[in-house]
Chains A and B, each alone.
Chain A
Amino acid sequence: MSTVLEQIEQQIAKLSSKAVRKNTGVIRTVADGVAKIDGLSDVMYNEMVQFPGGAIGIALNLEQDEVGCVILGDIAQLKEGDEVQTTGKLLSVPVGKGLLDRVVDALGNAVDGRGPIASTEFYPVEKIAPGIIVRKSVSQPLFTGIMAIDSMIPIGRGQRELIIGDRGTGKTTIAIDTIINQAKINKVGLASGDPKFRPVYSIYVAVGQKNSNIVRTLGALEVAGALEFTVIVAAPAADNPANQYLAPYSGAAIGEWFMENGMDALIVYDDLSKHAVAYRQISLILKRPSGREAYPGDVFYLHSRLLERAARLDGKGSLTALPIIETLAGDVSAYIPTNVISITDGQIFLETDLFNQGIRPAVSVGLSVSRVGSAAQIKATKQVGGKLKGELAQFRELAAFAQFGSDLDAKTKAQLDRGGRIVELFKQPAFNPIPIEQQVVTLWAMQKGYYDSLEIKKVTPASVSLREFFATRKDALLTEIRNKAALDKDIEEKIKAAMDEWKATFVA
């Protein structure tokens, strides 16, 4: 027996003293978060390299005589002549439910001061998007809780819907509302004990934002009780461009874990304009040839490979993406906006004029579109809101025309009146998503002319009062609408009876 043990010990000793092969290089220059390295002849594209002092880098430029690496971490300690070595690994981030309710950086390290992330699984940051065979068409709704969106520009699970608009038009608010709404739906669904219920987990990726804005978002999610279903990936403006470049991919990797494991996830990239700027900065320092607006040639691929990772997989889960793009003076024909518009499955366009007129969310119905979401819209919403988009478009056209003349025929006046009421109805405060069943009854009342007798200014308070009435006194009916997801004769009669009851109590 002892000889056998000795043999094993000898074998272990042989292995433990085995030489380790490393491929090394030497830093030639370090500037602006990018190092040029001599050597590293075996390095792979996108491979992690180890710098002295614990900093890591990613090999982005493999040239004939040198390697260009972006450095993730503190570059203050690095100097010319320092040895760098390959790791043989691609950059990975921790994934799993342990990240929920946490704030992490682009590398998956906790930055919320609540200790390390409880996760044993890692996913590569860069991954090829799912192919054609494994995908399934979008057919399940993802409710944003914003009436104007859910009724006219519906979003489905696995869809990529762009939120685009100038600064200060409420882009982030729409994304946060959507995250809050998912948390609300999750709580109701999980409490119902329905085995078929599929919660939606959210990932919010903040790229190039002020820390104060991230804290505000965090606060809004916390107040709404949405953090327990949310992961925040933060790469603020003070982070180096490499981290800002990587953060959306890290977020996508975190979201992919949910998708691959049969769950549904929603990812918000806030925002991809700043992401493109960070990538431009890296590319210029790496001396890559610049093209239009000084962006490198592969800036389209930068976003297409990211957004293609959002999908609905056959037999698994889904990852829905809400990328955000900030425009300048409403110019949607700029380079990055046109790129992302063409990649995504539709866009929600927010207008400064509407925002300043007090129409919030400032969704421009004419310019907004959802290319696949209508397939995922529930029947009840289609029944009550099917014609709304057309009516609003007609209203906008007529309203512009009506400015030139005062004499209008009765039909035009009626159309303008109705349009004005719809616009009022869609006004909704921030961080206050409306459950889909409440949206259905609100729109039903509009369809049946319950707001017609009111002054236009009273439409919004009336709809709020109506929803409160239903939420407090007709909960069973709302549950029935939610579960059936369609309006049959019986439900419509019940809604009508409840509506009459509300009308009798409502004082304008």
Chain B
Amino acid sequence: MQKQDQQLARQLFAISVEGGVLSVEKVAGVLAYLEKHPPAHPLPVLRAYQRLVKAEYAKGQAVVEHAGPITDELLKLIEDDMTRRYRRTVSALAKPSPALLAGLRIRVGDDVYESSVSNQLAGLSV
């Protein structure tokens, strides 16, 4: 990917954020603009833009992988804790994952909080 494409994607991403939060309307506006005025290399620009939006979106979502059952109270607790920790609204999303054997694995953006049996077993094997 050329530097210019990456720079354009960054600029488009910057205008998609409103008050530090990704705006759905702004993203739609950017896409509409790109459709009307396609850049020199539309595919790499759109891919880079998608990556940035995806990364930003992931920062506001806590994906809670769990092996056993999980209650709504626990999800709410996680939401509150992550919102406090990251100083932004974080919503929790439950995702069953039997491979964990037991425990939880929470992903918020790049950060992963792991408290699963599979991880502890992996640690023992090293």
Chain A residues within 8 Å of B, Cβ to Cβ:
17-25, 38-42, 64-65, 85
- Segment of B21-29, B87-95, B112-120 engaged in the interface with chain A: B112-120
Tell whether, in the assembled complex, residue A22 and residue B114 are in contact, meaning their CB atoms are under 8 Å apart.
yes
Interface centre among B110, B111, B112, B119 (most CB of A within 10 A): B110
Contact partner, A21, options B10, B51, B112, Cβ 8 Å: B112
Chain A residues lying within 8 Å of B6, measured Cβ to Cβ, are: 65
Query: How distant is A27 from chain B, measured CB to nearest CB, in Å?
Result: 13
**CB neighbors of A among B21-79 (8 A):** 48, 51-52, 55
Tell whether, in the assembled complex, residue A19 and residue B110 are in contact, meaning their CB atoms are under 8 Å apart.
no
Tell whether, in the assembled complex, residue A21 and residue B115 are in contact, meaning their CB atoms are under 8 Å apart.
no
Query: How distant is B84 from chain A, measured CB to nearest CB, in Å?
Result: 15
Bound Cα distance from A64 to B55, whole angstroms? 13
Closest residue of B by beta carbon distance from A21: B113
Chain A residues lying within 8 Å of B48, measured Cβ to Cβ, are: 65
Tell whether, in the assembled complex, residue A41 and residue B113 are in contact, meaning their CB atoms are under 8 Å apart.
no
Q: Given known contacts A38-B51, A64-B10, is B110 in contact with A17 (CB within 8 Å)?
A: no
Query: How distant is A429 from chain B, measured CB to nearest CB, in Å?
Result: 51
Q: Given known contacts A64-B10, A65-B10, is B51 in contact with A19 (CB within 8 Å)?
A: no
Chain A residues lying within 8 Å of B119, measured Cβ to Cβ, are: 20
Number of B interface residues in the complex (CB < 8 A): 18
Contact partner, B115, options A19, A23, A39, Cβ 8 Å: A19
Contact partner, A20, options B55, B109, B113, Cβ 8 Å: B113
Tell whether, in the assembled complex, residue A22 and residue B51 are in contact, meaning their CB atoms are under 8 Å apart.
no
In the assembled complex, 15 residue pairs joining A and B whose CB atoms fall closer than 8 Å, in A order, are: A17-B103, A18-B115, A19-B113, A20-B114, A20-B119, A21-B113, A21-B114, A22-B112, A23-B112, A24-B111, A39-B55, A41-B110, A42-B111, A64-B10, A65-B10
Interface centre among A20, A25, A64, A85 (most CB of B within 10 A): A20
Chain B residues lying within 8 Å of A85, measured Cβ to Cβ, are: 112
Closest residue of A by beta carbon distance from B120: A16
Does B100 sit within 8 A of A, measured CB to CB? no
Chain A residues lying within 8 Å of B113, measured Cβ to Cβ, are: 19-22
Tell whether, in the assembled complex, residue A22 and residue B111 are in contact, meaning their CB atoms are under 8 Å apart.
yes
Chain A residues lying within 8 Å of B10, measured Cβ to Cβ, are: 64-65
Query: How distant is A354 from chain B, measured CB to nearest CB, in Å?
Result: 51
Does B12 sit within 8 A of A, measured CB to CB? no
Bound Cα distance from A272 to B52, whole angstroms? 41
Closest residue of A by beta carbon distance from B109: A41
Chain A residues lying within 8 Å of B110, measured Cβ to Cβ, are: 23-25, 39-42
Query: How distant is B100 from chain A, measured CB to nearest CB, in Å?
Result: 12
Chain B residues lying within 8 Å of A41, measured Cβ to Cβ, are: 109-110
Bound Cα distance from A19 to B103, whole angstroms? 10
Chain B residues lying within 8 Å of A42, measured Cβ to Cβ, are: 110-111
Bound Cα distance from A19 to B112, whole angstroms? 9
Query: How distant is A387 from chain B, measured CB to nearest CB, in Å?
Result: 62
Closest residue of B by beta carbon distance from A86: B110
Tell whether, in the assembled complex, residue A23 and residue B111 are in contact, meaning their CB atoms are under 8 Å apart.
yes
Interface centre among A18, A19, A39, A40 (most CB of B within 10 A): A19
Closest residue of A by beta carbon distance from B115: A19
Chain B residues lying within 8 Å of A39, measured Cβ to Cβ, are: 55, 109-110
Closest residue of B by beta carbon distance from A41: B110
Bound Cα distance from A65 to B55, whole angstroms? 10
Query: How distant is B114 from chain A, measured CB to nearest CB, in Å?
Result: 5
Query: How distant is A80 from chain B, measured CB to nearest CB, in Å?
Result: 13
Closest residue of B by beta carbon distance from A18: B115
Top-6 shortest CB links A-B: A19-B115, A39-B110, A19-B113, A41-B110, A22-B112, A20-B114
Tell whether, in the assembled complex, residue B111 and residue A20 are in contact, meaning their CB atoms are under 8 Å apart.
no
Bound Cα distance from A39 to B112, whole angstroms? 12
Q: Given known contacts A20-B119, A65-B6, A65-B10, is B55 in contact with A38 (CB within 8 Å)?
A: yes
